[in-house]
Chains A and B, each alone.
Chain A
Amino acid sequence: MAHSGNPIAGTGTGSSPRLLIARAANLLFTLSLTFVGLTAITFIIGRVMPADPVLAIVGDRAPKEVYEAMYLKLGLDKPLIQQYLIYLVNVLQGDFGKSIMTTRLVLDDLIRFFPATFELASIATLAGIFIGVPMGVVAAVRQGRLTDHIVRVVGLIGYSVPIFWLGLMALLVFYARLEWLPGPGRIEVYYDGIVDPITGFILIDSAVQGEWEVFNNALSHLVLPAAMLATYALAYIARMTRSFMLDQLSQEYVITARVKGLSELAVIWRHAFRNVLVQLITIIGLTYASLLEGSVLTETVFAWPGIGQYITNSLFNADMNAVIGGTVVVGICFVGINMISDTLYRLVDPRVR
């Protein structure tokens, strides 16, 4: 049987307590290292970049006295390492500080903005998987034929056309001309405040509270931006699936399976496809993580209040508490997706267990 690269070597001892403890310790170590690394690098970049966090608060016309008072209040007179340690201690106590831009606690902002991106990225990734994977498989099976050419062109377009332009064109066609879908925004402004934010996910909150009109409106607003992101996701996933499948379809075990008289569907899906799953999980995980990071351009075009726009605006405004908070969330996403990918590797590849 052919095999794929395996990033995690199993010990063959199954789920013994020692192994579980070792895995937990490893996980804790990875998380701690990621957390300290992320916060330290972001913090230092924030402090050494030419944007002045004091001016972000007091404005460029502030007189000396006001500027200096804020400089001291922010603790910028202290050595950089001391500033970082103070910040780290606060964060470990759940205090990310306040955002300059929103005047709210960064934690509250993250709870508000991240679900918007999560909804968008999740739907885009699901669309990418359910459309992109079959597209890639079909293209590989029909290599060199019309279907293959179409999939390759779609993949090329989806991956190379600027998403900013694509978003505007989609708005022009589906919102302005055809009037099939609503314009920018996460929800029609008149529905704002109707649903209590329980989870922060409008779709879930409105469904749980039985506000189906709000649910319908939120879902309709989700279609275009999610489709834009899905275009990118499916293009990438389809291209990679095609490439992986082509590699597998040329292996001897596929010929053997065919000689044994297995149906073409069984050869493709039960044998060849199963062997690309590990690689595919990696690709899907990376795609999902990059979308969770926030697609700033999509969020800007569609006035989508997500984490990407939040971090970018914060960066432009030298709002470093918000930048670091957002970066930590993105880091956690990457670590979380890595963990899920590891688990899935074990499920699909018996050698990893």
Chain B
Amino acid sequence: MNMHKTLACLALGLVLALGGTVATAKTPNDTLVMAKDMSDIITLDPAEVFEFTGGELIANIYDRVMMFEPEDLTKLVGGVAESYTVSDDGKTITLKVRAGQTFHSGNPVTAEDVAFSLRRVIKLNKTPSFIFTQFGWSADNVDSLVKATDAMTVSLTINAEFSPGLVLNSLQAGVGSVVDKKTVMANEKDGDLGYEWLKNHSAGSGAFSLKTWNANELVTLEANPNYRHGAPGVKRVIIRHVPEPSAQRLLVEKGDVDIARNLQPDQIKGLAGNNDVVIGKYPKAGLTYVATNDAHEILGKPKVRLAMRYLIDYEGMVNSFLAGEYKIHQAVWPSGLWGSYDETPFSLDVGKAKALLAEAGYPDGFKIQIDTLTEAPFSEIAQSIQQSLAKAGIESQITLSEGKTLWPKYRARKHEIIVARWSPDYIDPHSNTDSFAHNPDNRLEAKLTGKLAWRTSWFDPEINALTEAAAKELDLGKRKQMYAELQQKVQMVSPFSIMFQRSEQAVLRKNVKGYVSGSNFDLVFYRNITK
């Protein structure tokens, strides 16, 4: 027993000795510490980043040609470009680079850096490059279409029929980030335009520079004291990879992190009475939707598609397990943005759905497969839909999969019904309508896998034409009207039942001020944060 006592005393002594020194540690005033699940980052090269966390980070590291600034997230303004002019035919955009900007390296920001950055996106041909290739830019012609005409002027020639407004909006996307050409090319290997190096380094002119990225551990950003808006409110930002939401909650409650980003709704509820923290709610542009496969012999019938919309308990879900995080939205472009369409004509109406099914020739329902993601709240949404479908005699079976398994099935058009999510790639309605509504070639071999309309085998020439016309329209007022009309039609006839728009909830220590989280995943800004 003596040995046991000795061991117990030793253990207790160790715990007390170590604990006394560390448990009281709190974050320093000049450092913001954030807990976040960062397992989605696979690159920090702005020509390639297409993931949520990566998008957020590069928004703070790089200034983009055009930007939404944290001071007013509704207004598109010049970022690296101070101003722009559009030629009468709408084909040429001339950008004037803001004077006096410097990269983190100390190099001045020039027109050649802007042109290089945009051309690099096309030449590297990574996933988000489609945002620019739609303007008719290709590896063969981009050198002549995107060029610096003098030290501070860039000329962009659009080689396709597109509204200049849409082009300017797309320059606000992550691919519009301006990289330091000299630094990037100094790290080029085998003609890769610095791609391997820039994956985990930075060469920007934004409010922060990347100090370290240890995958699945932490990211450290250092403030740029020479930033064009002035030095950020904190000297550094440390983002800790904490995958478990319960651990995030404990960390923010104890003050070991200043912001926790991935808490579940029930955990946030549990913090309601805690005076040390503030719960921030930030409406996002992310949509949750149901898509039916139009190639399916039953689901492809227009009346069945319409019946599906009446077999979703929108109200029931937002008032129960989605409360506080989701709101009902039924159009393909999210609410609160230019060109939004906020009509919500559908609600759970089993009688109407049954009548539509009977008219389509299925009065007794049918059997169907529902695919969705394993993560919350997709399985709960699928179960709710399963119950609603059952009321109309539709027997369904749910299959839950990880995204890496589900998306290949969706891209291969092998789903029947899928419950999925979507966020815009840039803040212009075309970003969503081009995917949800535009399918110029419905053949299997066309493999337009990036477009949701193709994935669901939905081909509607009228909708295609309307989508293309809206993207080309020069008059802003008319263009807005066209998107309202397009969204109304898609809402009624497409295989997509848009259900919800998400809000992000973050838990902040009460002394944290100035955290800005805009509508899109890459509109999260750290530079105004103070403690």
Interface string of B2-26 (1 = CB under 8 A from A): 0110010000001110111111110
Indicate if B42 sits at the interface (CB-CB under 8 A). yes
Which chain B residue shows the least CB distance to A180? Answer: B19
Indicate if B294 sits at the interface (CB-CB under 8 A). no
Evaluate contact between A130 and B7: CB separation under 8 angstroms: yes
Q: List 10 A-B contacts (CB under 8 A).
A: A51-B402, A103-B42, A175-B23, A180-B23, A183-B247, A188-B22, A190-B31, A192-B214, A300-B244, A305-B214
Point out residues on B near A: beta carbons under 8 Å: 3-4, 7, 14-16, 18-25, 28, 31, 33, 39, 41-43, 50-51, 125-127, 129-130, 199-200, 212, 214-218, 220, 238, 240-244, 246-247, 250-251, 253-254, 256, 401-405, 407-411, 425, 435, 446-450
B-side contacts of A77, CB under 8 Å: none
Evaluate contact between B244 and A184: CB separation under 8 angstroms: yes
New A-B pairs, 11, CB < 8 Å, besides A52-B407, A189-B218, A303-B241: A56-B42, A58-B127, A60-B403, A99-B215, A112-B214, A168-B244, A180-B19, A185-B242, A186-B217, A189-B33, A223-B14
Which residue among A49, A69, A103 has the maximum number of chain B CB atoms within 10 Å of its CB? A103
Evaluate contact between A61 and B425: CB separation under 8 angstroms: yes
A-side contacts of B244, CB under 8 Å: 168, 184, 300-301, 303
Partner of B42, one of A63, A66, A101: A101
Which residue among A178, A181, A184, A219 has the maximum number of chain B CB atoms within 10 Å of its CB? A184
A104-142 interface (Cβ within 8 A of B):
104, 109, 112, 130-131, 134
Indicate if A220 sits at the interface (CB-CB under 8 A). yes
Evaluate contact between A57 and B42: CB separation under 8 angstroms: yes
Which chain B residue shows the least CB distance to A51? Answer: B404
Indicate if A59 sits at the interface (CB-CB under 8 A). yes
Evaluate contact between A175 and B254: CB separation under 8 angstroms: yes
Interface segment among A235-243, A278-286, A311-319, A337-345: the answer is A311-319
Main secondary structure of the interface of B (DSSP, over half): mixed
Partner of B243, one of A50, A171, A216, A303: A303
Evaluate contact between B250 and A50: CB separation under 8 angstroms: no
Q: How many Å lie between the Cα of A55 and that of B403 in the bound state?
A: 10
Which chain B residue shows the least CB distance to A54? Answer: B408
A-side contacts of B401, CB under 8 Å: 50
Q: Shortest beta-carbon distance, B322 to chain A, in Å?
A: 23
Evaluate contact between B15 and A223: CB separation under 8 angstroms: yes
Indicate if A334 sits at the interface (CB-CB under 8 A). no
Evaluate contact between B21 and A310: CB separation under 8 angstroms: no
- Known contacts A217-B22, A303-B247; A104/B404 CB under 8 A: no
Interface string of A176-205 (1 = CB under 8 A from B): 101111111110111011000000000000
Evaluate contact between B125 and A316: CB separation under 8 angstroms: no
Evaluate contact between A59 and B15: CB separation under 8 angstroms: no
Evaluate contact between B19 and A179: CB separation under 8 angstroms: yes
Indicate if A143 sits at the interface (CB-CB under 8 A). no
Evaluate contact between A303 and B240: CB separation under 8 angstroms: yes
A-side contacts of B4, CB under 8 Å: 134
A-side contacts of B250, CB under 8 Å: 171-172, 175-176, 183-184
